[in-house]
Structure 1
Amino acid sequence: MLLGFLTAAAVASTTAAVAVGASSGAQAVDPAERARIEQIVHDYILAHPEILPEAMERLKDKRMAEAVNTHRKELETPYAGAWEGAKDGDVTVVEFFDYNCSYCRASLADITKLVASDSRVKIVYRELPILSEESTLAARVSLLAAEQGKYAAFHKALFAGGRASKDSILAAATKAGIDRKAAETAIISNRYDPEIEANLKLAQELGASGTPTFVVGGKVLGGAVGYEALKEAVAAARSKEK
């Protein structure tokens, strides 16, 4: 779910300001002329209220794109090996996720399919443990796996093991080839917490309030949007780069 909706009044005011600015260029507008233009815009909006949702959606998308561009380097620079796909991909898909999120688990197949079908896409994973204490424990070991070059193996093993718990986290670590003692240490360590807190801050900057949240190009997609939506977002981002 994404936050940051505007009221109809705010949109009407913004539309009026744009109309006045467009008609005046760099010069000041006579107050009477300004009032006349604003009245025209006001009357048009009242006569065509259906334009408001579209206007609000466009403004929301614009603000999201601005937030993404402001934080693009932070978003697209993975923590150690917390990525897969093309190392120097022309489009990067960022996923904020929680290991105890069933929608994130369902989205894993879509990400796997995207990587398999597109040799130029890069996936960057960002831990966003917001659902439970076990989610945080899982995120810590996940970042350990990233440091050891075993991220994908751990990531897939833990999602395959069902709900994250201390036992399932350690089992996934063992399956991924991570030393059990190192995993047990990571679970109780706060060494990875700054990275997790940075991800939480990034998500807040983007207005993301749930998982999964995907960032593709300048778009933010909330929820388990599916393979086709991700593919289309990658294609759109790629076309804008040309």
Structure 2
Amino acid sequence: MIRNSARLATATALALLFSPIHYVFAQDQAPATSTPEAAAPAAPVAAPVFPAPDPADFTATAPTKDVVNAFMQANLGFDVNSMWQVQAIQKTQIPGISKVIVFVGDKTGKQQPYRFAFFTMPDEKHIIVGEKIVPFGDRPFAENRAMLQQRANGPYRGSAAKDLEIVEFADFQCPHCKAAQANMDKLVADFPKARIVFQNYPLPSIHPQSSIAAAYGVCVAKEAGSTAFFQFAAAVFDGQDGLATPDGATLTLNSAVTKAGLDPAKIAACAATPETKATVESSVQLSKDLDISSVPTLVINGREVPANAPYETLKQLIQYQAKMDGVAQ
């Protein structure tokens, strides 16, 4: 379920779909060339050839070309067919803010190359792309990774260590979150050394029963730990249609609590307390501090990824991020 704005995903920006900057990259995409009805068969495609950068377009001292390349590598390096070229790093009329232009393409030549432009902030840790503020630098996900290691305290599966931490932000009433659970179960099996955390991100403006479902989940985890929580969560997602009404939600949540081996009355009483509501709100605030704008979202060592992406792509991204961070998988 999208919140605030739609995701922009196009064929020419496929790799960027799995990065925080995918929300805005496609706006700079060049239009596709139309093909006449009687056109001859297409010639074999080849990698694009970018024009040589003009040294006159490198007027800013920061960021350096090396930092821009490291940023692009962090975002696109998981795809061996991705290619790019830093075309300009220019001063602007505002001290400390530079304009950067990068040409991005595909080595197979099957995807249309495009121009990616952004402005670096004076802190050299963030950039502005369209309407988004995006982490930047040679290790752009490091700050978010540290934030999650400190504050992602939801129930988890897998390792107690946080070297490879995959945090799922989800809403129990979101159909896309339900669909993403198949991916989550596969990740648990394929990455036993990872810590895979569930964080509540209810969106009550569009899912009215999501907050109470989140509160129940907090209390199940508090009462009986992570194993009971994931039994509860599986039952809630399986019975998600029952969350459509308040009465249906009560029946669905109580049934899920029972399946987790707990007392529904005790969990309901816990869910109504200010302490529990504060715990849910703390998880929501973490989502906002990470600038997560949709559910379901995974954050892999600080790197934001749609949780319902194709599974093999998720595996590829996790393996790449773990390698970048020098941690065991």
Shorter-chain TM-score range? 0.7 to 0.9
Asked if 1:108 corresponds to 2:181, the answer is: yes
1:98 to 165, 171, 174: 171
Aligned residue pairs total 216
What is aligned with 1:166? 250
1:194 to 278, 282, 289: 278
CA change 1:177–1:214 in 2 (3 A) is same
Structure having the higher strand fraction is: 2
What is aligned with 2:319? 235
The alignment's TM-score, normalised by the length of structure 1, stands at 0.74
1:102 and 1:23 mapped to 2: Cα distance? 41
The CA RMSD measured in Å over matched residues stands at 3.7
CA change 1:69–1:179 in 2 (3 A) is same
Residues 202 and 211 in structure 2, CA contact (< 8 A), matched pair in contact too: yes
- The one-letter code sitting in structure 2 at the alignment partner of 1:51 is R
| Secondary structure of 2:185 counterpart | helix
- Alignment map for 1:1-242 (pairs within 5 Å): 1=7, 19-21=59-61, 50-52=114-116, 56=129, 60=134, 62=136, 65=141, 67-69=143-145, 71-76=147-152, 78-79=153-154, 82-88=155-161, 90-130=163-203, 131-147=206-222, 148-149=224-225, 150-163=228-241, 164=243, 165-222=249-306, 224-242=308-326
CA change 1:204–1:232 in 2 (3 A) is same
2:288 and 2:318 mapped to 1: Cα distance? 23
2:176 and 2:283 mapped to 1: Cα distance? 19
User: What displacement does 1:240 show?
Assistant: 1.5
Q: Whose RCO is larger (CA < 8 A, sep 6+)?
A: 1
2:316 and 2:142 mapped to 1: Cα distance? 20
1:168 and 1:85 mapped to 2: Cα distance? 27
2:63 and 2:216 mapped to 1: Cα distance? 58
User: What displacement does 1:216 show?
Assistant: 0.3
- The one-letter code sitting in structure 1 at the alignment partner of 2:294 is G
CA change 1:52–1:176 in 2 (3 A) is same
Residues 218 and 271 in structure 2, CA contact (< 8 A), matched pair in contact too: no
2:151 and 2:254 mapped to 1: Cα distance? 28
1:156 and 1:50 mapped to 2: Cα distance? 42
**Could you give the per-residue CA deviations for residues 174-201 of structure 1, whole angstroms, max 9, x where no partner exists?**
1111112112213433321122212222
1:126 and 1:167 mapped to 2: Cα distance? 23
2:91 and 2:211 mapped to 1: Cα distance? 52
- The one-letter code sitting in structure 2 at the alignment partner of 1:132 is H
CA change 1:53–1:116 in 2 (3 A) is same
Unaligned runs of 5+ in 1: 9-15, 25-36
| Secondary structure of 1:94 counterpart | strand
Identity in percent? 22
Structure having the higher helix fraction is: 1
The alignment's TM-score, normalised by the length of structure 2, stands at 0.56
